[in-house]
Homo-oligomer: A and B are copies of this chain.
Amino acid sequence: MEIREITSRQNKLVRRAAALGEDAAARREQGLFLCEGARLCQDAALSGVEVEACFFTRRGEERYGQYLQPVLERAREAYRVEDHVAQLLSSTKNGQGVFCLCRRPEGLGAGLSGRELSGPCLVLEQLQDPGNLGTVLRTAEALGVGQVFLLGECCDPLSPKVLRASMGAVFRLWLGAEPEAGPLCAALRGQGYGLHAAVVDGDAVPVTQLDLARGKQAVFIGNEGNGLRPETVALCGSRVTIPMAGRAESLNASAAATILLWEMTRGRGRRDG
- A132 → B minimal CB distance (Å): 12
For chain A, the count of residues having a C-beta within 8 Å of the partner chain is 32
Tell me if A12 is interfacial: C-beta within 8 Å of chain B. Answer: no
Which of A143, A146, A243, A250: most chain B CB closer than 10 A? A250
Stretch in contact with the other chain, from A14-22, A220-228, A263-271: A263-271
Chain B proximity mask over A238-273: 1 for CB below 8 Å, otherwise 0: 000001111111111011001100100111011000
- Once the chains are docked, how many angstroms separate the CA of A138 from the CA of B254? 12
Inter-subunit contact A269/B243 (CB<8 Å): yes
* CB<8 Å pairs between A and B, sample of 17: A138-B252, A138-B255, A139-B252, A141-B247, A141-B250, A142-B247, A142-B248, A142-B251, A143-B251, A146-B245, A169-B250, A208-B266, A208-B270, A254-B255, A255-B255, A258-B258, A259-B259
Q: List chain A positions with a Cβ less than 8 A from chain B.
A: 135, 138-139, 141-144, 146, 167, 169, 172, 208, 243-252, 254-255, 258-259, 262, 265-267, 269-270
